[in-house]
Every structure is written in C-alpha cells, then in structure tokens.
C-alpha cells in the first residue's frame, strides 16, 4: 500500500540499513534452509566426479540434458539485471531507483551459477582450464572457431562488466553504512567505501563511470545470449538450424529475467518490510514489460514452428510432432500455458495486474522458460537424422538434485547479499526524493 507521504531521508537510512545492522533468528533459519540443498548439490556433484557420468542419464545420443538446460536458463535470468537496469538508467526512468540493485544482484549471481554448469557437465572438471587461451608445452591452443570457447570469453566479459556495474553505485552506500556503524563493521565498510566523502568531484566521477558502464553493458549483454544461441544454431541437429535463434534467445532471456526480478522484489518486499519502497507501481510497470516480452516470445515460437512446418523436412517434422502431439506434448503445452496464456490473462487485464498477479505470472514464466530450454535441447538430440541415432533421456536423481540446488544457491546468495549491502540504493532513493520535492 502506497504511503501518504514518502519517507524522510532519515527514515530511508534507518529502514534500508535495518537488515544490515539487526540480525534475528529468522536470518539464520533462512540461511540454513537455503544451505541444505546447496550442500546436497555439492555432494551429488562429488559423487558424479568420483563415479563418472554413468550416474547421470546422459549418454548417446543425448549428451545434453538437465545441465545444459540449466546453463542456458541461468544465463538468460542474468539479463534481468544489468540489461534492464542499464536501459532504465539511460532513459532516466525515475521509478527504477528501488529496482536497480535488486536486478543487478540477480545478474551477478545467476551468471556465477550459470557459469558453473559447463564445469559440472565436464566428465573431468579439473581439466576446465583447457578452455583458457594459454600456450601449452606443445603449443596447442583452443579452437577459437568453436562456439564453446566463445562462451568462455562472452560469459567472463559479461560477468566482469556486471560486477563492476553492481559495485560502482554501492560505494556511496558503503560510506553510509560506515557512518552509521561502529567497531569492526565501521572499519570494513570504511575500506569498501574507498575514501568516499560525497564531494562534487566524486559524484561527477561516479555518475560518469556509471553512464559509461550503462552504455557498454547493453551490447555485451545482447551478444552473450546470441553467442549461447550459436551453440545450437551451428550444430547439424533437427530444428536447430534457425536464423532467428539469436533474437529468439535474447528475447527469451529478457523475458525470464524480468520474471525472476519480479519474484525477487516480492520476496524482498515481504520479508524485509520494504512496502514503502517497492510499490505497486513498480510491479505494474514490470508486469507491463513482462506482458510485452510474452507476446514477443509467442511470436518467435510461432515463427519457428511455422517455418519448420512449411519446410516439411522429415527429420525436422519428426521432432516437430514429437513435441506437438507425442511424448513431449504435455511439456510443450505446459510451456505455452505458462509463458503465454497465464501472462496474457493476469497481466493483460488491468484488474488482475496486482502484485499477486504479477508474481503468479512470473512464477509461471520461470517454470515455462526452463521447460522451453529443455524442449529445445532434448527432443532434437534424441531424434536426429537417421533412425539408428534415435534415443531417449531420463534424468537421474543426481541431475535433479544438482539442478534444484542451484535455485537454493541463488536464494542463499541473495540472503547473504541483503545482509551485507543495502538491497535498495539509499543515495538513489534520496536523490529521487529530493528531485520530486524540487519539482513539486
């Protein structure tokens, strides 16, 4: 419920620093609940590394399954933050201020989680350094024509830029924590504040650096998921030779990213009591954007299926009917329901576009987008061009535990982050309140 008047600067400081300065038993309980699945996932990964890939359902011809599905999914979720935040900063959308840091944190954490899956997917993860471009004793270098090597470069570039984009606006808030704490906490945040005193020169440098990063990060974010799409479109697999895979993957990434952001904002609003800052307006605006992306996603899916149908290639049509009518049809129509029908009803009708409606639609989208990644990978790999290359895939408990543990890891990272950094930018909120006062 929107307050009658915006909080004062002193009230903003007190409200947004409360999660950092006050620790209750609820924090430790939530951290423990999130840690348990993460530990289970680490045990499952260690089991896989010890016994080999025989403990998974991966095998000829389906060598990609839950792991690569989760990899593409989490890289897509990462577009929630940096891309959305950067665009909103560039257009100077005033309502973005309570949202930006929530989004940027999602980007950093989901990139870290997503980048782990190529390592998990390796039979011998201790050889992952082979992806790095260094000259060996035999002067053998990675194959730079491989899209997998370009994934390595793209993800690391995006992660570096996203962490920098997240860290820059945190400097003034670290100084605020420093000035409102004592003892060891004051010394730690004093170091993190990098000598911030709020002078005009410091503000000018910060704003300039943030503007440069906002401009630079947009093409990097778009290129990352375009490169991920090349892992598919450059492979001779049915229904993967599509010229729309680049924009299709980018649109899907932004779509799932917005849904993840809405869910995170709702949880923060509820558990950190930020009702005065994360307003229905923010959910309404993001809900509208989610609806637009739902319609765009539906267009790309229709376009892909229409071209496949009129092309009428036997191998493509075998996969087509496998997802439309046969074994994968329940998952396919669940995906369409979650990604199109549910958002269309809950977000297209203004009466339903409440906080609860936006969260419900976002949960459906997250489920639907994970299914979409799964349906792109498994049916095509299991039904290649020749009959002798047909096969099936069934995930084992090891894969399921590892995939599920990454959602717990995301929650755990977010819980720890809110304990160390103000999840809503204090200085941006104060700047927005001051600007509103001047305009009024």
* pLDDT score recorded for residue 104: 87
What pLDDT sits at residue 143?
62
With respect to residue 322, please indicate whether it lies within any of the assigned structural domains.
Answer: yes
Does a structural domain hold residue 405?
yes
> Over 80: is that where the pLDDT of 145 sits?
no
* pLDDT for residue 42 is more than 90: yes
Q: Give domain status of residue 434, yes or no.
A: no
CB within 8 Å of 170: residues ≥ 6 apart? 101, 192, 421, 425
pLDDT digits (tens, 9 = 90+) for 274-330: 888 888 988 999 999 999 999 999 999 999 889 888 888 888 888 899 898 888 999
Classify 62 as helix, strand or coil.
strand
142: which 2 tokens?
A: 């990675």
Higher-confidence position of 155 and 386: 155
438 assigned to some structural domain: no
The tens digit of pLDDT for each residue in 73-106 reads 998 888 777 777 788 777 777 788 888 888 888 9
Render pLDDT for 376-426 as a digit per residue (tens, 0 to 9).
999 988 887 776 677 788 899 999 999 999 999 999 999 999 999 998 888
82 in a structural domain? yes
HSE at residue 27, side-chain half, CA atoms within 13 A, is 16
The pLDDT mean for the chain works out to 86
What is d(CA 437, CA 440) in angstroms, rounded to the nearest whole number?
Answer: 5
Structure-model confidence comparison of residues 86 and 259, the more confident one: 259
Is 344's pLDDT higher than 60? yes
Q: For a pLDDT cut of 70, what percent of the chain falls above it? A: 92
Q: Which residue has the higher pLDDT, 231 or 265?
A: 265
Q: Is residue 420 part of a domain?
A: yes
Distances (CA, A) of 329 to 320, 321, 336: 10, 8, 11
Which pLDDT score, from 0 to 100, does residue 139 have?
Answer: 62
Decide if 97 contacts 16 (C-beta within 8 A): no
More confident residue, 201 or 242: 201
Task: Please state the rounded mean pLDDT for residues 164-171.
Answer: 89
| 35 pLDDT above the threshold of 70 | yes
From residue 202, alpha-carbon distances to 9, 173, 176 in Å are 21, 14, 15
**Number of folded domains in the chain?**
1
The answer to whether residue 147 scores a pLDDT higher than 90 is no
pLDDT tens, 113-123?
988 888 888 87
Confidence grade of residue 135 (pLDDT, cut at 50, 70, 90): low
Write down the pLDDT at residue 3: 46
Residue-level pLDDT at 412: 93
**Cα 55 to chain centroid, rounded:** 28
Helix axes 245-271, 355-381, angle to 10 degrees: 140
Over residues 232-258, mean pLDDT:
86
pLDDT for 1 beyond 50:
no
pLDDT value at residue 331: 93
Query: Averaged over 169-185, what is the pLDDT?
Result: 89
Query: Which residues, including other chains, have CB under 8 Å from residue 132's CB and lie 6 or more apart?
Result: 142, 152
Token look-up 């909120």 returns: 429
Residue 436 lies in a domain: no
Contact between 380 and 61 (Cβ < 8 Å): no
- Which CATH number characterizes residue 311's domain? 1.20.1630.10
Domain annotation covers residue 440: no
Name the residue range of residue 211's domain.
Answer: 9-132+141-429
pLDDT at 283: 92
């Amino acid at each position: 419920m929107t307050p009658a008047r915006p909080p004062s600067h002193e009230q903003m400081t007190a409200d947004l620093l409360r999660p950092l300065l006050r620790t209750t038993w609820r924090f430790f309980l939530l951290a423990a609940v999130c840690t348990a699945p993460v530990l289970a996932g680490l045990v499952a990964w260690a089991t896989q590394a010890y016994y080999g890939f025989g403990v998974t359902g991966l095998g000829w011809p389906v060598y990609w399954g839950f792991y690569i599905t989760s990899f593409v999914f989490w890289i897509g979720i990462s577009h929630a933050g940096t891309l959305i935040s950067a665009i909103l900063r560039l257009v100077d959308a005033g309502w973005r201020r309570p949202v930006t840091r929530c989004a940027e944190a999602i980007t950093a954490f989901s990139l870290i989680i997503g980048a782990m899956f190529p390592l998990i997917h390796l039979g011998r993860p201790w050889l992952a350094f082979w992806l790095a471009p260094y000259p060996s004793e035999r002067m053998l270098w990675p194959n730079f024509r491989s899209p997998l090597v370009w994934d390595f470069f793209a993800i690391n570039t995006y992660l570096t830029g996203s962490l920098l984009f997240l860290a820059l606006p945190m400097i003034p808030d670290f100084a605020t924590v420093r000035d409102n704490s004592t003892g060891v906490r004051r010394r730690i945040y004093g170091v993190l504040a990098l000598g911030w005193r709020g002078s005009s020169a410091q503000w000018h440098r910060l704003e300039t650096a943030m503007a440069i990063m906002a401009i630079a990060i947009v093409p990097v974010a778009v290129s990352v998921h375009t490169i991920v799409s090349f892992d598919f479109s450059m492979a001779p697999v049915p229904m993967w030779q599509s010229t729309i895979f680049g924009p299709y993957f980018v649109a899907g990434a932004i779509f799932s990213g917005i849904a993840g952001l809405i869910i995170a904002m709702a949880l923060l609003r509820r558990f950190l009591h930020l009702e005065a800052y994360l307003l229905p307006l923010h959910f309404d605006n993001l809900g509208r954007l989610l609806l637009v992306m739902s319609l765009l996603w539906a267009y790309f899916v229709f376009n892909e299926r229409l071209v496949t149908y009129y092309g009428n290639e036997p191998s493509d049509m075998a996969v087509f009917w496998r997802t439309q009518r046969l074994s994968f049809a329940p998952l396919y129509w669940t995906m369409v329901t979650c990604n199109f029908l549910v958002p269309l009803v809950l977000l297209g009708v203004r009466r339903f576009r409440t906080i609860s409606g936006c969260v419900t639609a976002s949960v459906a989208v997250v489920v639907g987008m994970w299914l979409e990644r799964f349906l792109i990978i498994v049916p095509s790999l299991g039904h290649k061009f020749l009959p002798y290359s047909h096969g099936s895939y069934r995930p084992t408990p090891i894969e399921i535990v590892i995939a599920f543990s990454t959602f717990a890891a995301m929650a755990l990272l977010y819980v720890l982050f809110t304990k160390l950094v103000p999840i809503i930018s204090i200085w941006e909120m104060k700047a927005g309140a001051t600007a509103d006062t001047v305009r009024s």
